[in-house]
Amino acid sequence: MAAPLPLPETADPTFAELLALRPHLSLHAMDGLMMEEVPLARIAKEIGTPAWVYSAGALRHRARSLKAALAHAGLTATVHFAMKCNDNLAVLKVLGAEGLGADVVSGGELHIARAAGIPASAIVFSGVGKTLGELRQALAEDIFQINAESAEEIDMISAVAAEMGRTARVALRVNPDVDAKTHAKITTGKSENKFGVALSDAADIYARMAALPGIAPVGIATHIGSQITAGMSAYRAAYARLAELAKALRADGLPVERIDCGGGLGISYRDEPAPSPEALAGAIRASLGELDLPVMLEPGRWIAGPAGVLLASVVLQKQGAAHRFVVVDAAMNDLVRPSMYEAWHGIVPLSSVRATAPLAESEVVGPVCETGDTFARGRLLPSLQPGDAIAFLDAGAYGAVMSSTYNARPLAPEVLVDGTNFAVVRGRQPLDALLHGQNVPEWLTT
């Protein structure tokens, strides 16, 4: 497996530099770190920590600027939020109100999307292993599109649709064999990855699909990876291959109504050069424009990542043999990205006094019994006292959704900020929930 891309050998951005690029966050002398009009310290105090906090304003702003970029490029486009990155009901409500549909990858996500009021006609179902039960659920809901990832899956879809007397609108996910130059665990568009069908097989599979009962072929799809920051070249290469395929299919008289361009647009966690939605829209336009077809996008991280933070409190600061450790009350069971992907997250103290105090290198760690439960190494932070609160930035995507109760740590609450308002949109899991559904067999109790 390829090693993660090394970060540039530059100094970490300062608190001020981090905040300047995140307009929904600001540091005030009295109120400390604010999200929109709400002091985050107030949320930490009232709700407790750890806690996820999302900015409705940032979600709306990002959804709008993505749509604007697509429109500006002259594209007829729909945006389907990849809700695997954040499946919170209130977040989906905010994005649904902006006209975003959903890209779902499980029956559970489909259930939540519908509960959030996302119309079935705006839902796409992706994923390499949809079960018969999930396909039945998708057809019963009559969702907009199923993205099929193999010839074998197409047979399953046809059988289920025929059995239900339905027609499935199916796009064929193609693996364009491009290297998106992202972390090995989240690259999906190389030929050795499990996703999609090989480009060389796509035309045959598409033709076969068109002949099967219960299936209406509607187009082709791709998704080449996540957290793509290496510019537009991989996107351009993938879309150029899709364009060629679409033309070949059309030449064979097969219907191609739309192109699903996937997601993957990266964000700047540290100082990565994050591509803009304008650049992505331009790449789509340049490679696919001549087809004159509607396009679909499935962004997740780009929309929700920067909109969220994870609040944590310092349990204690411990001077180890080699390092100063800041032990916080959030852990890898909450935010797993640093231990899973070696991810870098900005860390900002909530107090402006702390944020302007002298800095020293610190290891920021959680209480879980794993050395991997480390959020940051050698991070310049002020000396922190027990009870001081900090925010992990850019935790709105692949944050809460990836959390677990490892070490019997209840799931942290989620809070939505909207202007001067905030509300808990998912309560902290009570300790009793850790026992819920557990059953000790009778023979052990006698």
Ligand X SMILES: *Cc1c(COP(=O)(O)O)cnc(C)c1O
Query: Which of 84, 169 has the CB closer to ligand X?
Result: 84
Give the phi and the psi of residue 232 in degrees, each rounded to 5.
-95, 0
Member of 36, 87, 103, 149 binding ligand X (CB under 6 A)? 103
Interacting residues with ligand X between 189 and 228 (CB under 6 A): 223, 226-227
Q: Which is nearer to ligand X, 245 or 296 (CB)?
A: 296
Pairing state between β 25-28 and 32-35: antiparallel
399 labeled part of a ligand binding site? no
> Count of alpha carbons within 13 Å of 162, Cβ hemisphere only?
9
Longest dimension (CA), the chain: 74
Question: Active site includes 85?
Answer: no
Q: What DSSP string runs through 337-356?
A: HHHHH-----EEESSHHHHT
Segment 275 to 314, residues that bind ligand X, using CB under 6 A: 298-302
Residue number with CB closer to ligand X (349 or 399): 399
257 is in an annotated binding site: no
In 157-273 the beta strands, taken as DSSP E runs, fall at: 168-175, 197-198, 215-221, 258-260
341 is in an annotated binding site: yes
Query: Residue 109 annotated as binding?
Result: no
**What long-range pairs does 129-137 form, CB within 8 A, spacing at least 24?**
130/156, 131/107, 132/156, 132/160, 133/107, 134/106, 134/107, 134/110, 135/160, 135/168, 136/160, 136/164, 137/107, 137/110, 137/111
> Does the footprint of ligand X cover residue 84 (CB under 6 A)?
yes
> How far apart are CB 255 and ligand X at their closest, in Å?
22
370 is in an annotated binding site: yes
The 10 Å CB-count burial string (b at 16+, else e) for 386-395 is: eebbbbbbbb
Contact pick of 217, 262, 338, 413 for ligand X (by CB under 6 A): 262
Q: Is 409 in the site for ligand X (CB under 6 A)?
A: no
Please state whether 350 falls in left (phi above 0), alpha (psi between -120 and 50) or beta: alpha
Cis peptide leading into 441, omega within 30 of 0? Answer: no
Query: Cβ closer to ligand X: 173 or 354?
Result: 173
Strand order in the sheet with 32-35: 25-28, 32-35, 38-39
Show the site string, 113-142: x = touches ligand X by CB under 6 A, - = not: -------------x----------------
Residue 82 within binding range of ligand X, rule CB under 6 A: yes
Min CB(69)–ligand X separation in Å: 15
Stretch that binds ligand X, among 58-66, 77-85, 246-254, 329-337 (CB under 6 A): 77-85
Catalytic option among 369, 408, 431, 440? 369
Q: Is 299 assigned to a binding site? A: yes
Distance CA 321, CA 372 (A): 18
Please select the residue that binds ligand X; options are 50, 176, 196, 263, rule is CB under 6 A. Answer: 263
Nearer to ligand X, 54 or 302 (CB): 302
Which residues does the annotation mark as catalytic? Answer: 369
Known binding-site residue numbers for pyridoxal 5'-phosphate: 264, 298-301, 398
Binding residues for substrate: 301, 337, 341, 370, 398
- The binding site for ligand X (CB under 6 A) comprises 82, 84-85, 103, 105, 126, 223, 226-227, 262-265, 298-302, 397
